[in-house]
Amino acid sequence: MNQPHTTRMNGAQIILKMLELHGVSHVFGLPGETTIGWYKEWRANSGIEFVLTRDERTAAFAAEAYAKITGRPAVLEAPSPGVTHCTPGITEAFLSSVPVIYFSSDIPINQDKKHGLTGVDQTRLYDSICKESFVLTNAREIPFLIRRAFRVATSGRPAPVHIRVPINIFGEEAEITDLYAEPDYSTYPAHRPVADHSKIRAAIDVLLAAQKPAIVCGQGALISQASDAILELAERLQIPVGTTTPGKGTIPEDHPLALRVIGGRGGMEYSNQYLLEADTIFFIGSNTDSAGTDHWKLYGDPNTKNFLHLDIAEAHVGNTFPLKVGLVGDARATIEYMVEILKAEHPGLQRGPLDLNPIKQTALDKVFNSNIPMPEGTISPVKLSQVLDRIMPDDALVTSEPGVSAIYPSALLTFRKPGRRYITNYSMGALGYSVPAAVGAIYAHDGPVISFTGDGSFGFVIGDMETLKRSGKNITVILTRNDTFGWIRGEAILLDDVDEPWTTDFGRVDYCKVAEGFGFKTARITSEADIEPILSDAIANPGANFIEMMVPSQDKIIPFVPNWVRVARAKNLPHFY
């Protein structure tokens, strides 16, 4: 009988080797006194690329975006002084079902009880926003715990796992006999359970009987890489497919059955109206949250239609709407089996073809040709999105965040190939996401990356312009500027009848000069005629590019937000919908 191979290694070497065995190629993070022991071994013995950011918050969001794009669990690390800074990114990952393996180094165990500097109970801090949070107490257990971290993070509903590493563990030596990885957990979803077969047949019966059904895909459909299966089901049954903003791109948006984005953050009137009139809604990989459902008003009286719901997370299934059939399972595997049943048991099925493209084009043309006068000194975000949609390369990837920077692209950009090429943070919705997400994107993606940000968000993350520039990658940051926290201003004025918010506006900044200081090639759009040449030049330039454009605040020109549009129409205010 073969004896297990024994190797004597220290904790830092073991961690690095286990990450290599799991196929990790990048780690996002920031140095600190508690990680010096790890870095010493890293520099000498590992080819894993360390992506140095200027803030742990950025590192966390970058890791989250990297995992979304690559389909692999991302690795994040932070030292004890910055351990609290990672909570926004870890929270977004947790709510978005994105696997991140998060290492936080620490002072020795229990030294925090002596009030050692930077000491805090990291485990309790992250336990509520991670699938698991545990402590490395000895070097010998590192292989077991890292295998568990990858397995937990990528199985079932993917989510972050937190690993707390006291400083002494990096240098502690141990005889290791179990230095191996489990390859299944180097990507996600690691396993693809199929929903109950009888429930799948029940769902098929409901869909076949429906007069006006619709499919609504959340980002779970993209996590499951279910695009091909969903499109085959939709084509076989001629069912339109809409997506939430985070699910944008699940199927090609120029497909005849694509409704495009629906809901309260970038849904247009025609797509939201279609869902209101539908008699059957099939949710796939959606948690039916407030943003994707216009605060749960999108479907009208829930008792007037049938709801089906498929998700890997049993807690999401039927959470907010009464179900005719609930299915717990992987989206791709379950839909693939559903299609196989339809082929086998309904081989002669014929459905009249639907083509939504004329309806969509009419709606888009109405917006593009509306020519609503802009306030003095501002340019229409509609025109920016219209031009970018026309010139955007097929291999481009877009990051965006709440506000003007996301609402217009969500509604108006057309992604003509399926997949996760539009990265947003509409699970938690914190500001300061798009630039960090671009950091993750440039290391996960070979094509050009375009980052839409607003000046409210940009103030959180200006330091990481240096990270983008240092990468040497093709990145274009587009700043839509209005010198205010425009979403809060719009909410206060439109919904709370505040005459003039006193906590939203801030001082003017020459952001082009700031970007020039970081070494970006910069340009300022001051007229509609500037948009195409400036955008084209930036995207074609392989380095770091920055574009600034003044836009109206959300209370001046109301964007694609249904509850705001209802007020705008009542008050005869200019709006897009």
Q: How far apart are CA 295 and CA 34, in angstroms?
A: 44
In this prediction, residue 3 carries a pLDDT of: 55
Question: In 71-110, which residue ranges form alpha helices assigned H by DSSP?
Answer: 87-96
Domain identity same for 203 and 177: no
β strands within 212-261, DSSP E: 213-217, 241-243, 258-261
pLDDT category of residue 1 using cuts at 50, 70 and 90: very low
Q: Which whole number is the average pLDDT over 451-479?
A: 97
Specify whether the CB–CB gap between 463 and 53 falls below 8 A: no
- Give the pLDDT confidence score for residue 343 in this predicted structure: 96
Among 160, 186, 212, where does a domain finish? 186
DSSP secondary structure code for residue 558 in this structure? B
- The pLDDT assigned to 113 comes to 80
Q: Are residues 156 and 214 in the same domain?
A: no
| 192: in domain | no
Residue 35 near residue 79, CB atoms below 8 Å: yes
Domain closes at, from 162, 186, 210:
186
pLDDT at position 94 over 50:
yes
Q: Alpha carbon of 179 to those of 149, 530, 553: distances in Å?
A: 15, 58, 56
Q: How many domains does the chain have?
A: 3
Sign of CA dihedral 511, 512, 516, 519: positive
Shared domain for 287 and 416, answered yes or no, is no
DSSP assigned state of 236: H
Percent of the chain that is helix, strand, coil (3-state, to 5) = 45, 15, 40
Rounded to an integer, what distance in angstroms lies between the CA atom of residue 577 and that of residue 344?
42
CB neighbourhood size of 140 (10 A): 17
At residue 505, φ and ψ (nearest 5 deg) are -90, 145
261 lies in the same domain as 133: no
- In sequence order, what are the residues at sequence separation of 6 or more whose Cβ sits closer than 8 angstroms to the Cβ of residue 371? none
pLDDT value for 119: 80
Q: What is the pLDDT of residues 11-68, one digit of tens each?
A: 999 999 999 999 999 999 999 999 999 999 999 989 999 999 999 999 999 999 999 9
Tokens of 131: 């699938």
Residue 577 maps to a domain: no
- Co-location of 228 and 336 in the same domain: yes
Please check whether residue 182 lies inside any domain of the structure. yes
Mean pLDDT computed over every residue of the chain: 96
88 and 231, same domain (yes or no): no
pLDDT category, 384, cuts 50, 70, 90?
very high
The CA distance from 171 to 13, in Å, is 9
- Residues of the chain with pLDDT > 70, as a percent, come to 99
User: Do residue 278 and residue 419 come from a single domain?
Assistant: no
Domain co-membership, 287 together with 374: no
DSSP state of 310: E
What digits encode the pLDDT tens for the residues 314-328?
999 999 999 999 999
Give the model's confidence band at 117: pLDDT under 50 very low, under 70 low, under 90 confident, else very high: confident
Token pair recorded at residue 96? 């978005």
Tell me: pLDDT of 4 over 80.
no
Phi, psi of 204 (to 5 degrees): -60, -45
pLDDT at 5: 82
pLDDT band at residue 499 using 50, 70 and 90 as cut-offs: confident
**Domain of 116, in residue numbers:** 7-186
Name, in order, each residue with C-beta under 8 angstroms of 429's C-beta and a sequence gap of 6 or more.
Answer: 291, 402
376 secondary structure, DSSP code: T
User: What is the CATH number for 216?
Assistant: 3.40.50.1220
Task: Give the CATH number for residue 53.
Answer: 3.40.50.970
The pLDDT confidence band at residue 88, using thresholds 50, 70 and 90, is very high
User: What is the model's pLDDT at position 2?
Assistant: 52
33 shares its domain with 166: yes
Q: Are residues 180 and 205 in the same domain?
A: no
- Residue 118's pLDDT band (boundaries 50, 70, 90)? confident
Joined together, the tokens standing for residue 189 give 């979803």
Answer whether residue 484 shows pLDDT above 90. yes
Of 271, 340, 279, residue with least CA distance to 308: 279
Mean pLDDT of 184-200: 98
Provide the 3-class DSSP secondary structure of residue 174.
strand
- How does pLDDT run across 130-146, given as a tens digit for each residue? 999 999 999 999 999 99
**Residue 49 falls inside a structural domain:** yes
| Residue 115: predicted pLDDT | 80
pLDDT at 283: 98
- Asked whether residue 501 is domain-assigned, the answer is yes
Residue 365 lies in a domain: no
Q: Which of 277, 311, 346 is the last residue of a domain?
A: 346
Model pTM score: 0.96
CA distance 193 to 328: 8
Using an 8 Å Cβ cutoff, are 371 and 557 in contact? Answer: no
Determine, yes or no, domain membership for 516: yes
Residues 318 and 202 both lie in one domain? yes
Measured distance CA(350)–CA(236) in Å, rounded: 8
Cβ pair 532, 391 in contact under 8 A: yes
The whole-number pLDDT of residue 164 equals 97
Report the residue count for the chain. Answer: 577
Residue 263 sits in the same domain as residue 336: yes
Domain assignment present for 2: no
